[in-house]
């Protein structure tokens, strides 16, 4: 998704804002604080927080594109996470202003936990194809790929990898628990009653057909980005800011956050860097 933003009115303000203030703002955002809460805590205007998010988000997207490539990954897991911008799709169909439903496609290295690629867009074949091609371009060798049963993946994987992949789908089957009311089913996840593993192309190893790590990343996104929190008014109001927040989150996750099971960051585990980046380092990317 192409992101355009007008930040020139705030450039002078950003240049005058001390680096420690900018670092404090970004630290609050990556830990799940909202724009307004961050504004109140730091003592700056909401516009200042938004403009810094735009600058840093753009820099993070560029940094990811320049750094995450030639990967020696062996297993990739992919999934999509739902959110909305401005209003939900049903409200949009009824005339409300807003982007409606927005999906974030995420691909993660199952061994290093590195987020290889992400894409913000619709949940259709076009978006799936762009997403898969970006993953393919960042890899250096043949991988085992696992996705859920979303059908656009079939065409997208074929076009991007041209059969040079060991690809399988993992389809989870859900059913409500006995006695659940409609309200209970709405606010709690359905019970998983089984999984079906389907080989699509190549020779995927059955024991590695899984989407557990990428589904866990969905939870991480909802915990670290306030705009992904369900049943609140913290949803994104502009799709550009939505994209910038996601770029910031993934660079922070890949390069700054030490993974509990690895004792290093995903980027260090993948061999992209030798040290942990700080939030201040992320802010300095804008230079």
56 found inside a domain = yes
**Where does 43-169 have alpha helices with state H?**
46-67, 89-93, 125-138, 152-161
Q: Can you tell me which residue has the tokens 């209970």? A: 184
Which domain range does residue 56 map to? 1-67+237-287
Domain stop point among 170, 194, 224:
224
- Residue at 59 is within a domain: yes
Give me the numbers of helices (H) and strands (E) for the chain, helices first please.
Answer: 12, 6
Q: How would you write the pLDDT of the chain (287 residues) with one tens digit per residue?
A: 444 444 444 444 455 799 999 999 999 999 999 999 999 999 999 999 999 999 999 999 999 999 999 999 999 999 999 999 999 998 888 888 888 999 999 999 999 999 999 999 999 999 999 999 999 999 999 999 999 999 999 999 999 999 999 999 998 877 755 555 554 555 566 777 778 899 999 999 999 999 999 999 999 999 999 999 888 888 899 999 999 999 999 999 999 999 989 999 999 999 999 999 999 999 999 98
Is residue 86 a contact partner of residue 227, using CB atoms and an 8 Å limit?
no
pLDDT score, position 187: 55
**pLDDT given at position 61:** 97
Query: Tokens standing for 73?
Result: 């990954």
Q: What is the pLDDT of residue 180?
A: 54
| 89 and 183 both lie in a single domain | yes
Q: Measured between alpha carbons, how far is residue 71 from residues 110, 116, 117, 158, 216 in Å? A: 13, 9, 12, 20, 22
Claim to verify: residue 161 and residue 92 sit in the same structural domain:
yes
Provide the whole-model pTM: 0.88
Other C-beta atoms closer than 10 Å to the C-beta of 244 total 25
The residues, any chain, with a CB within 8 Å of residue 236's CB and separated by 6 or more, are 83, 84, 85, 86, 102, 227, 242, 245
The last residue of one of the domains, among 224, 259, 276, is 224
């Amino acid at each position: 998704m192409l992101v355009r933003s007008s930040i020139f009115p705030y450039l002078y303000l950003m240049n005058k804002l001390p680096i420690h203030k900018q670092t404090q703002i970004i630290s609050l955002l990556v830990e799940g604080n909202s724009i307004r809460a961050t504004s109140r805590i730091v003592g700056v205007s909401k516009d200042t927080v938004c403009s810094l998010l735009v600058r840093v988000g753009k820099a993070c997207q560029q940094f990811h594109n320049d750094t995450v490539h030639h990967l020696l990954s062996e297993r990739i897991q992919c999934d999509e996470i739902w959110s909305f911008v401005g209003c939900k799709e049903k409200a949009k169909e009824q005339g409300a202003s807003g982007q409606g439903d927005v999906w974030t496609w995420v691909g993660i290295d199952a061994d290093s936990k590195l987020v290889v690629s992400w894409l913000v867009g619709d949940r259709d074949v076009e978006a799936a194809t762009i997403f898969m091609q970006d993953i393919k371009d960042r890899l250096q060798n043949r991988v085992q790929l696992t996705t859920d049963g979303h059908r656009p993946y079939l065409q997208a994987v074929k076009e991007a990898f041209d059969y040079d992949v060991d690809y399988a789908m993992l389809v989870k089957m859900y059913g409500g628990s006995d006695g659940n009311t409609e309200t209970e089913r709405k606010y709690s996840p359905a019970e998983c009653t089984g999984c079906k593993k389907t080989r699509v192309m190549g020779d995927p190893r059955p024991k590695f057909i899984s989407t557990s790590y990428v589904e866990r990343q969905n939870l991480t996104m909802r915990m670290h980005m306030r705009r992904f929190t369900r049943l609140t008014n913290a949803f994104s109001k502009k799709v550009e800011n939505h994209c910038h927040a996601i770029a910031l989150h993934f660079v922070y996750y890949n390069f700054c956050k030490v993974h509990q099971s690895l004792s290093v960051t995903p980027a260090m585990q993948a061999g992209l860097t030798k040290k942990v980046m700080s939030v201040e380092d992320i802010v300095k990317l804008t230079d």
